[in-house]
């Protein structure tokens, strides 16, 4: 078997979109450095052209080791897929600052750290940065504030970086999935349930109806969402394209909501979202 001549890094590859993407890019003939947090995940993921690495993107030592691994390999870094993230969701009033900081540490600062560590190799090989966004990065639904805020932030980071490195031949692409069936849905439900239990009696009176609607919404995402392999196929296309688009959507809901968010007035969109969540 021919040794792949190019590398790709995928963070958050233990499950869901990250796992499906690592497997798809390996089939595309790339050597995938797949970031996972646990050894048991690494053992399950290891395969031809898939090399799992223990990687906590909030750990400076892990990120530095990843940069050294790529720099010492000698092969071109074709792309970085920033997929690692968490979902912490609750009404703004009820969520402690430490939880907001944790959301941003993983889903914003961790992604920036990995990008900075690998950017020299990306620039040297005119590679690509693929940031996995979300519909929540374009429309913030009630109680999705922390997750949406992090995704909105990465939209801005992606735009700035794209404009900074375009003259060097580096493309920065945002993939915007809608509902996808992943383990993040289950962990998001568990986290939201834990956080709601810590609300004060007054907050329960204000937000219990909203949290029940939120849980129904997330369960619908898990039931009706597209398979992660669909997102992986779009990511593969964005890496392979000679001139990729700056943004791709995944799933029918993303294809509808993203353009809608640009033209619908805020008040009308508020009513649409409340109706969708059955809050009226």
Query: Catalytic site residues?
Result: 147
pTM score, two decimals?
0.93
Domain that holds residue 259: 6-276
- Residue 272 within a domain: yes
> Domain total for the chain?
1
**148 within some domain:** yes
Residue 58 included in any domain:
yes
Q: Give domain status of residue 1, yes or no.
A: no
Task: Render each residue's pLDDT in the chain as its tens digit; 280 residues.
Answer: 567 899 999 999 999 999 999 999 999 999 999 999 999 999 999 999 999 999 999 999 999 999 999 999 999 999 999 999 999 999 999 999 999 999 999 999 999 999 999 999 999 999 999 999 999 999 999 999 999 999 999 999 999 999 999 999 999 999 999 989 877 666 777 888 888 888 999 999 999 999 999 888 888 877 888 999 999 999 999 999 999 999 999 999 899 888 888 899 999 999 988 888 887 6
Q: Do the domain assignments include residue 86?
A: yes
Residue 71 belongs to some domain of the structure: yes
Q: Is residue 133 part of a domain?
A: yes
CATH number of the domain enclosing 168: 3.40.50.720
**Residue 97, domain member (yes or no):** yes
For every residue of the chain, which 3-state class applies, written as one string?
CCCCCEEEEECCCCCHHHHHHHHHHHHCCCEEEEEECCHHHHHHHCECCEEEEECCCCCHHHHHHHHHHHHCCCCEEEEEEECCCCCCCCCHHHCCHHHHHHHHHHHHHHHHHHHHHHHHHHHHCCCEEEEECCHHHCCCCCCCHHHHHHHHHHHHHHHHHHHHHHHHCCEEEEEEECCECCHHHHHHHHHHHHHHHCCCHHHHHHHHHHHHHHHHHHHHHHHHCECHHHHHHHHHHHHHCCCCCCEEEECHHHHHHHHHHHHCCHHHHHHHHHHHCCCC
């Amino acid at each position: 078997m021919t040794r792949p001549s190019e590398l790709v890094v995928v963070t958050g590859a233990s499950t869901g979109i990250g796992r499906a993407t690592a497997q798809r890019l390996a089939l595309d003939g790339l050597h995938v450095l797949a970031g996972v947090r646990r050894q048991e995940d690494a053992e399950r993921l290891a395969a031809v052209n898939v090399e799992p690495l223990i990687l906590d993107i909030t750990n400076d030592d892990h990120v530095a080791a990843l940069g050294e691994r790529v720099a010492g390999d000698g092969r071109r870094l074709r792309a970085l897929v920033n997929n690692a993230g968490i979902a912490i969701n609750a009404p703004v009033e009820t969520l402690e600052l430490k939880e907001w900081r944790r959301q941003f540490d993983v889903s914003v600062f961790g992604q920036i750290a990995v990008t900075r560590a690998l950017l020299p190799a990306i620039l040297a090989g005119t590679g690509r940065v693929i940031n996995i966004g979300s519909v929540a990065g374009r429309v913030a639904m009630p109680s999705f504030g922390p997750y949406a805020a992090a995704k909105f932030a990465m939209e801005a980071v992606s735009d700035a970086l794209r404009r900074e490195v375009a003259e060097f031949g580096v493309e920065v692409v945002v993939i915007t999935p809608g509902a996808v069936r992943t383990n993040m849905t289950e962990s998001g439900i568990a986290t939201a349930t834990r956080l709601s239990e810590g609300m004060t009696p007054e907050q329960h009176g204000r937000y219990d109806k909203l949290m029940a609607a939120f849980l129904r919404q997330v369960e619908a995402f898990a039931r009706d969402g597209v398979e992660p392999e669909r997102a992986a196929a779009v990511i593969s296309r964005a890496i392979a394209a000679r001139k990729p688009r700056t943004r791709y959507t995944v799933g029918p809901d993303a294809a509808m909501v993203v353009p809608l968010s640009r033209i619908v007035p805020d008040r009308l969109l508020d009513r649409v979202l409340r109706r969708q969540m059955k809050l009226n």
